[in-house]
Chain A
């Protein structure tokens, strides 16, 4: 090493050497650091965790009905409803509202949404939790808080002709605690909960139109 060491010269750097290095680094960056590295990351992911690497898709009878990581719109009374979406649940238009706390439109929308939820669920407006009245950051938040699920239990049970405690037990079994007890927040996965509802055997003869899709 010592013998090959060359100290820098005071002369101006030679342009040809520099552009040759720049060209080499450009190719190396795009093909190596970019494409090859990304391919390696894809390869490792596909090898170790194929289901997750392919988007955590949920299939029913061979048809993709969604992803565990993408919220779906639910409007029927027989379903638990997700948080409002600023993107209309379209993953190609993902967005939050990006409205400021002081924006008059945001204040008006929150009031309106909260009152509508309160009427639908038959609860006082003050007991509507903040997450159910607000739009998420991504527009496809798959979760709601346990409180947001709790105020919807009575309506869902009524629409499906199920006993309230059956629905409550189902919600409880789909409630995830904070991870390891200290990361994130407790939450309920809306799509999985609604699928579990659909999979329940009808408790009474299906007098209601939607009673038990199975």
Chain B
């Protein structure tokens, strides 16, 4: 049981320096690697036709983000549908059907990695290396870029070097940064070096890294029915590295990191779970040095840490230390080398940071562990995914400032700028979109006969359907995989949920921040609501919990809670 504590200690010990480094990268401060990285970056900026010091207003920034997503997505969709005719396909894998290819593309484009296919049998090496890995690298960085731009906006916009600080004139658009430079700098200087290190560490532990096709093995016991065994290989290690570091989760093999080829040893499991939390935690440590508001960074860290510890503790208890741990089914869907605690820790952390990888089959875990995973994804800001977690946290923050301001009778303002009607309306759109999409689709899938494709009777069937949409909307990507989700309905409805969960949640906070930046700044005085305090942090957590329960309590009771009560009577018998 010492693993969770060591994990937390290492996340803080590594996340703190990495966060400071990331802040320097995103602020374009002079640093030691400038000569090397500058040599790499200059031709790229020239090819993209941009100059990194050129500022963008929020509209241009968002337009660049959306346009690059649209183009990238279209090309990857085409690659998936034509992979049989393209090179690097040693195992002769056929083209993907249009709807499955569309869902797969959108799922990777939205940093979700929900998989309705099995990678080792349905994607060629080329499709995995370009489409899957390329999107796994760039989409978390896009999220990070949007979060950095939002922070710049909240603090009044990027200042020209050498100019005295002080807000922008009311008629100009606040400079929220240069999208292309943000993406390229963060990828080359931060994400890819980490990925190469993790790829090497994982290969050391046994994860394959090859371009050769997998061999046919002849099993030893001739009496068994299996006469030959294809060992599927490929450039697995680099994919697994970015899958974990970039809050992605889409594995090379169908059952993800439960497969020994993706996760060979307990040490590789620990390295992967460390990678899962590393960048989201680093981003929280980035806030202080990036914005110059260290107390604000500390408040965000404290809030997220408290929610994380509670949720992880609940998952560990439910899976391995509650009454249901005595069940003979305890090891169903789990691996012997990892065991119950490592599986529960993984389930908790991955759903906190929006990473869809699994090292045990969630469908077969204790119902309350599934409940913890669902609530983590509904909140989606306990660390949260790379960039998008911070965006979601900012939504809760603005809401909490607004509500706390109303309760104490003070003008709701953040960093000296007033939150008014238009901003709150934009927030309300975001808050309402979640139950509309998730509950709407869940109800439709269950009400129309033949759509749901659940493999479980009773309460657990509801959990399967609900989980799939929660995971899609949260851009998590894990699933209760007993669900028959390879159909046109599931592919298309999840595609809608994926898009609705990604783009508004990234762009609307940026728009709000830019609106705030354009307002006149009032000096922060004794009458200002102090948000950098434990009291405010607890208020924020309270609002997050009340909001989630108000929206989703009924379905949570009918799904996992009822499932848990039913299981209790089964074990007793």
Contacts and interface: CB of A to CB of B under 8 A. Distances in A.
- Are A and B subunits of one complex? yes
A209 B258 CA distance: 37
A136 B3 CA distance: 22
Contact of A101 (B160, B218, B270, B327): B327
A173 interface: no
Contact of A55 (B44, B216, B261): B261
Contact of A25 (B180, B253, B329): B180
A45 B200 contact: yes
A139 B255 contact: yes
A136 B334 contact: yes
A10 B57 contact: yes
A42 interface: yes
Choose among B175, B235, B329 the residue with the greatest number of A CB atoms under 10 Å from its CB.
B329
A194 B192 CA distance: 42
Interface stretch (A1-9, A150-158, A161-169, A200-208): A1-9
Contacts of A69: 206, 260-261, 264
A150 B196 CA distance: 41
Interface string A132-145: 01111111111111
Interface in B477-500: 480-482
A48 interface: yes
Interface string A1-22: 1101111111011000111111
The size bracket of the interface on A is 35 or more
Interface string A68-88: 111011111001000100001
A133 B328 CA distance: 8
Interface in B51-73: 51, 53-57, 59-60, 63-64, 67-68, 70-72
B60 A98 contact: no
Given A49-B203, A52-B206, A107-B570, A24 B47 contact: yes
Given A137-B361, A138-B259, A179-B266, A76 B180 contact: no
B161 A5 contact: yes
Contacts of B229: 66, 70, 72, 89-91
Contact of A76 (B171, B223, B255): B223
A29 B221 contact: no
Contacts of A136: 258, 331, 333-336
A40 B54 CA distance: 32
A17 B210 CA distance: 39
Interface stretch (B287-295, B452-460, B524-532): B452-460
Contacts of A9: 57, 173
Nearest to B139: A29
Interface of B: 2-3, 6, 44, 47-51, 53-57, 59-60, 63-64, 67-68, 70-72, 75-76, 79, 118, 120-121, 128-135, 137-138, 160-162, 171-175, 179-180, 183-184, 187, 192, 195-196, 199-200, 203-212, 214-221, 223-226, 229-233, 235, 237-239, 241-242, 253-255, 258-261, 264-267, 269-270, 324, 327-339, 342, 358-361, 363-367, 455-460, 463, 480-482, 563, 566-567, 570
Given A55-B231, A66-B217, 9 more contacts: A1-B53, A2-B161, A42-B238, A74-B221, A137-B333, A137-B334, A137-B359, A143-B337, A183-B270
Interface of A: 1-2, 4-10, 12-13, 17-26, 28-31, 33-35, 37-42, 44-46, 48-49, 52-57, 63-70, 72-76, 79, 83, 88-104, 106-107, 110, 114, 130-131, 133-145, 178-180, 182-185, 187, 191, 194-195, 198
Nearest 4 interchain pairs by C-beta: A184-B266, A34-B134, A41-B238, A45-B209
28 contacts: A1-B161, A5-B161, A13-B56, A24-B48, A30-B130, A34-B130, A37-B196, A41-B200, A41-B203, A45-B237, A52-B206, A54-B208, A55-B208, A64-B215, A66-B217, A73-B221, A83-B336, A88-B225, A91-B120, A94-B253, A98-B333, A98-B480, A99-B363, A101-B327, A102-B563, A103-B457, A134-B332, A136-B336
